[in-house]
Amino acid sequence: MDNFQFCSPTEFVFGKGSENRCGEFVKKYGGHKVLVHYGSGSAVRSGLIDRVTASLKAENIDYCLLGGVRPNPRDTKVYEGIELCRRENIDMLLCVGGGSVIDSAKAIALGVPYSGDFWDFYETGKAPEKVLPIGVVLTIAAAGSEGSGDTVITKENGMLKRGYGSDMLRSKFSIMDPELTETLPAYQTACGAADIMAHVFERYFTNTEEVEITDRLCEAVLLTMVKETPRVIADPHCYEARANIMWAGTVAHNNVIGVGRSQDWNSHGLEHELSGLYDCAHGAGLAVIMPAWMEYVRGHNVMRFAQAAVRVWGCQMDFQDPDRTALEGIYKFRKFLHEIGMPINFAELGAKEEDIPVLVEKLGVGSGKRPGFMELSAEDVANIYKIAARASL
Among 19, 103, 150, 195, binds Zn ion (CB under 5 A): 195
How far is C-alpha 81 from the geometric centre of its chain's CA atoms?
22
Contact flag: residue 135 with ligand NZQ (CB under 6 A): no
Contact flag: residue 183 with ligand NZQ (CB under 6 A): yes
| Binding to ligand NZQ, residues 285-314 (CB under 6 A) | none
The item of Zn ion, ligand NZQ, none sharing an interface with residue 356, based on CB under 5 to 8 Å by kind, is none
Calpha distance 184→46 (Å, rounded):
11
Contact flag: residue 195 with ligand NZQ (CB under 6 A): yes
Taking a C-beta distance cutoff of 8 angstroms, is the pair 349, 343 a contact? Answer: yes
Task: Report the residue number, 273 or 328, with the smaller CB distance to ligand NZQ.
Answer: 273
Calpha distance 272→280 (Å, rounded):
10
| Cα–Cα separations (whole angstroms), residue 314 to 196, 216, 218, 219, 356 | 20, 15, 15, 12, 34
Please choose, from the candidates 60, 114, 57, the residue with its C-alpha nearest in 3D space to the C-alpha of residue 85.
114
10 Å Cβ neighbour count for 318?
Answer: 15
Helices within 112-164 (DSSP H only): 119-124
Taking a C-beta distance cutoff of 8 angstroms, is the pair 150, 163 a contact? Answer: yes
* Contact range with Zn ion by CB under 5 A, out of 62-70, 107-115, 149-157, 189-197: 189-197
Contact flag: residue 264 with Zn ion (CB under 5 A): no
Contact flag: residue 103 with Zn ion (CB under 5 A): no
In one-letter notation, the amino acid at residue 3 is N
Among 10, 55, 181, 325, binds ligand NZQ (CB under 6 A): 181
Task: Report the residue number, 42 or 229, with the smaller CB distance to ligand NZQ.
Answer: 42
Among 150, 177, 264, 295, binds ligand NZQ (CB under 6 A): 150
Contact flag: residue 150 with Zn ion (CB under 5 A): no
∠ CA 124-154-162, nearest 5°, is 35
Residue 199 beta carbon to Zn ion: minimum distance, rounded to whole angstroms: 6
Among 152, 287, 349, 376, binds ligand NZQ (CB under 6 A): 152
With a CB cutoff of 8 Å and minimum separation 6, the contacts of 163 are: 122, 150, 151, 152, 268, 272
Task: Report the residue number, 204 or 325, with the smaller CB distance to ligand NZQ.
Answer: 204
Task: Report the residue number, 17 or 30, with the smaller CB distance to ligand NZQ.
Answer: 17
Task: Report the residue number, 273 or 328, with the smaller CB distance to Zn ion.
Answer: 273
* Contact range with Zn ion by CB under 5 A, out of 156-164, 191-199, 207-215, 237-245: 191-199
The item of ligand NZQ, Zn ion, none sharing an interface with residue 145, based on CB under 5 to 8 Å by kind, is ligand NZQ
Calpha distance 204→217 (Å, rounded):
10
Helices within 89-211 (DSSP H only): 99-111, 119-124, 186-204
Residue 194 beta carbon to Zn ion: minimum distance, rounded to whole angstroms: 9
Calpha distance 245→255 (Å, rounded):
16
Task: Report the residue number, 195 or 264, with the smaller CB distance to Zn ion.
Answer: 195
DSSP codes, 202-234: HHHS-S-S--HHHHHHHHHHHHHHHHHHHHHHH
| Binding to ligand NZQ, residues 79-118 (CB under 6 A) | 97-101, 103
Contact flag: residue 174 with ligand NZQ (CB under 6 A): no
Calpha distance 164→124 (Å, rounded):
9
Task: Report the residue number, 139 or 224, with the smaller CB distance to ligand NZQ.
Answer: 139
Among 13, 26, 34, 43, binds ligand NZQ (CB under 6 A): 43
Order of strands, sheet of 134-138, starting from the edge strand that comes earlier in the sequence = 11-14, 173-176, 134-138, 92-97, 33-38, 62-66
Residue 5 beta carbon to ligand NZQ: minimum distance, rounded to whole angstroms: 19
Task: Report the residue number, 98 or 322, with the smaller CB distance to ligand NZQ.
Answer: 98
* Contact set with Zn ion (CB under 5 A): 195
Residues that bind ligand NZQ (CB under 6 A): 39-43, 71-72, 97-101, 103, 139-140, 142-145, 148, 150-152, 180-181, 183-184, 188, 192, 195, 253, 268, 282-283
